[in-house]
A and B are shown apart, each in its own frame.
Chain A
Amino acid sequence: MEPTVWSRILTAETLAFHIIWATIGVGVPVFISLAEGWGILKKDSHYILMARRWTRGFVITVAVGVVTGTCIGLMLSLLWPRFMQLAGNLISLPLFLETFAFFFEAIFLGIYLYTWDRLKPILHWLTSIPIIIGSSLSAVFITTVNAFMTTPAGFSIDQGKLVDFRPLEAMFNPATPSKVAHVLSSAYVTCAFLLGGIAAWCLLKGRNHVYHKKALKMTMIAGLILALGTAVAGDFSGKFLAEYVPEKLAAAEWHFETQRKAPLILGGYLTDENKIKGAVKIPFALSILGKGSPDGEIIGLHEFPPDERPPLYLHYLFDGMVLIGTYLILISALFLLAWWRKKNPWNKWILRGIVAGAPLSFLAIELGWIYAEVGRQPWIIRGMMKVNEAATTADHVGLLLGVFSVVFAALAVIACTVLIRMFKHQHPEKELEQRQTFL
């Protein structure tokens, strides 16, 4: 196979692996800080212990996130040298700023971890704020780079040459707002379900301690708000796509002919003649998603030359992501409703539903990213540079792919083993008793 194909597989694999840990890295500090802050405010040692325990697990995931992030950072230059040469001129600002945010986070993470018993509680809590700022800002900056690849901006073309560079405009390109909003909110919601899922799992195992109940209530309140926020951000993304990247939306919705009053298609499959079978059609919904009015005109895929159309399997990814997002809203709403109405929110089936929400939300993150990235094919920078023009010409990419696959698989297994072992015999119930005297 060609280096381009190997490079694509290796990049996809590294990114797919990295975003799991990166999502945890962005979202979990928010909940750690929330728990510690609430614990201090309410003088409730349960929440303080929650923050401590989440932090202990968090460090392991951060380590894997840092090393895989370093991998993808350097791989961009190794696998896509032409792209980075061009990108260096156009978007090195956000790349540069991202390292600053990362630096900031790294410094305060070290401080936070080792000052639990050295600083006053409120001061210690304050050191969690720079961690949140650092991790969320690095997500913001790196997302602007990705947004630039979808809607390049901030330069002019004069006789085939790029001139008149405007770095801030390149960073705040049209795709930036909707992408940043969607990335941040989905990372937070995923972590709400990750931590909530763990609490629900413990309750299902019959460990009925109030500690787990408090953890579940806190994460599910945040989870519902954030899941709704993510849906709103997703709606912005739809409107953005319809205007700036119509082929991506059209491929996801199997929308071939430009038309008004376009229906949204759920599920189904395509025949060889590109006829849609077995799908649910929601009239006007695509026009509403894309243009905000049932009469909005949605551009169809046939407006684009065949070699510039993204693949049609995007539809399944898009559906999967939306479906999971809806599920997360429903299950957290159900839990909160049962709690509010003084029904039994600890019902086994609700708890099981929340446990399922954890892996599902990570799946949705993966689906959403694959949709975003494959939807830009065949471009690496839309309208400017195609993927095969950017790839390395060096040999041995296949070898590298093999080695990194093994390493990532091993890391995943070992990290999970370490995490499970850390908490297996260290139940919070026991830890609370031991700590009672000095919490």
Chain B
Amino acid sequence: MSLEWIGITVLWTFLYGYLIVASIDFGAGFFSYYSLLTGREHLINRVIDRYLSPVWEVTNVFLVFFFVGIVGFFPDTAYYFGTALLLPGGVALLLLTIRGSFYAFANYGARKSRFYLFLYGMTGLFIPAALSTVLTISEGGFIRETGEGHVEFLPRELFTSPYSWTVVFLALVSVLYISASFLVFYARKAEDEKAHELFRKYSLFWSGPTILAGILVFLALSRHNAVHFQNMVDLAWMFLLSLACFLGAVYLTWWRKAPGWSFILVMLQFAFAFFGYGTSHLPYLLYPYITLQSGLTQPEMGWTLVISFIAGLFLLVPSLILLLRLFLFNARYTRGEE
């Protein structure tokens, strides 16, 4: 495989990883606060806290890995996206800052505070929206190159574009859907029937908007970037598989069967859609300025990065397995006995 393909595959996989773990995290924060408002916190908070507390910092690393990695493999993206994303990126950073620190204040501090939980829960809902602007901008039409190497961002275009709003809508509802689907599985694992029923309701409730938003994004993209849309149509089988996984997951959840498999189907649903979207986006990283080829770093640096990535995996994978075995797949821990 050539260097640029290795690079983009690694990065896209990490972004997908972030999509899943961060969605669980963001959604859980929202449900946690929502349950506090509706007086149902005793039902679900124990499940959420036991899962989230040991892993919240790891979630954050997935994001850092992606933005450091993309600058490493494709330095040109730092220039174009960096200039364009000052405001949306600043907003996302601000929300991430508030969310991360108030999570710690609320959960490791001396006492629970409603205000801290409010900040933690609500910021999580807006971060996906802010981060999804990166994907929107990559479709082109929101950046103009004026003169020699001067990049101008067009915020008005972004805020008035139907495409950008459908992406935001998709990001929001899928966060809640992914999170609820995971928590269905985790609550069942913890043998907490009440939490399981509640999350099952949430999961089914948000499944409708999620698939609707997916279709809307399709339609809006066909108007915004016809080339990309045509590429997606050529890859239609991936999106059809994604739809099949979605239907399978909803079926299992509805009949209260195999929550583990149901969540795997949700992950596959998003994997097919996400990789289908990514593949059809290529060769452009930022339409029409940066392609996979033009943005690539020096080959010497690229190969060094690939080698260090493989070396890093040897360290990370066993540690991650240890973490999951201790907290996620440990029946006694999830039931709250240890």
Contacts and interface: CB of A to CB of B under 8 A. Distances in A.
Interface string B91-117: 001101110110111001111000000
B101 A78 contact: no
A109 B71 CA distance: 27
Contacts of A414: 101, 105
Interface stretch (B269-277, B281-289, B309-317): B309-317
A74 interface: yes
Interface stretch (A91-99, A209-217, A239-247, A253-261): A91-99
Contact of A93 (B81, B305, B322): B305
A331 B178 CA distance: 56
A397 interface: yes
28 contacts: A63-B101, A66-B57, A70-B93, A85-B82, A88-B72, A88-B74, A90-B301, A92-B71, A92-B72, A92-B73, A93-B72, A93-B308, A103-B58, A103-B61, A107-B316, A110-B54, A110-B57, A111-B322, A114-B326, A165-B298, A392-B83, A393-B150, A393-B151, A400-B90, A403-B90, A407-B97, A415-B101, A422-B110
A59 B104 contact: yes
Contacts of A400: 86-87, 90
Contacts of B96: 67, 70-71
A67 B308 CA distance: 25
Given A66-B100, A88-B72, A106-B57, A77 B78 contact: yes
A93 B304 contact: yes
Contacts of B69: 96, 99
A313 interface: no
Interface in A117-163: 117-118, 130
A421 interface: yes
Interface residues of A, number: 70
Contact of B323 (A60, A66, A81, A111): A111
B309 to A, nearest CB: 7
Contacts of B103: 63
A75 B93 CA distance: 9
A54 interface: no
Interface string A245-272: 0000000000000000000000000000
A56 interface: yes
A82 B68 CA distance: 15
A126 B167 CA distance: 45
A130 B63 CA distance: 21
B71 A95 contact: yes
A85 B78 contact: yes
B83 A81 contact: yes
Contacts of A71: 93, 96-97
A181 to B, nearest CB: 23
Query: When A and B form their complex, which 7 residue pairs have the shortest distance between CB atoms, in order from nearest?
Result: A88-B75, A92-B72, A63-B104, A81-B82, A110-B54, A84-B78, A106-B57
| Of B63, B84, B93, B338, most A-chain CB atoms within 10 Å | B93
B320 interface: yes
Interface residues of B, number: 67
A167 B68 CA distance: 16
A102 B61 CA distance: 7
What does DSSP make chain B's interface, helix, strand, loop or mixed? helix
Interface string B132-152: 000000000000000000110
A72 to B, nearest CB: 10
A127 to B, nearest CB: 9
Nearest to B14: A99
B67 interface: yes
Contact of B85 (A66, A68, A78, A108): A78
Contacts of B329: none
A403 to B, nearest CB: 6
Contacts of A110: 53-55, 57-58, 323, 327
B301 A66 contact: no
A86 interface: yes
Contacts of B104: 59-60, 62-64
Given A59-B104, A71-B97, A165 B75 contact: no
B243 to A, nearest CB: 34
B94 A106 contact: no
Contacts of A77: 67, 71, 78, 81-82, 89
A339 interface: no
Contacts of B234: none
Nearest to B330: A118
A99 B64 contact: yes
A421 B101 contact: no
B63 to A, nearest CB: 7
Interface in A353-382: none
B331 to A, nearest CB: 13
B88 to A, nearest CB: 10
A74 B60 contact: no
Interface in B207-223: none
A411 B63 CA distance: 22
Task: Among B55, B73, B104, find the residue whose CB has the most chain A CB atoms closer than 10 A.
Answer: B104
A63 B323 contact: no
A304 interface: no
A86, A92, A99, A113: residue with the most chain B Cβ atoms closer than 10 Å: A92
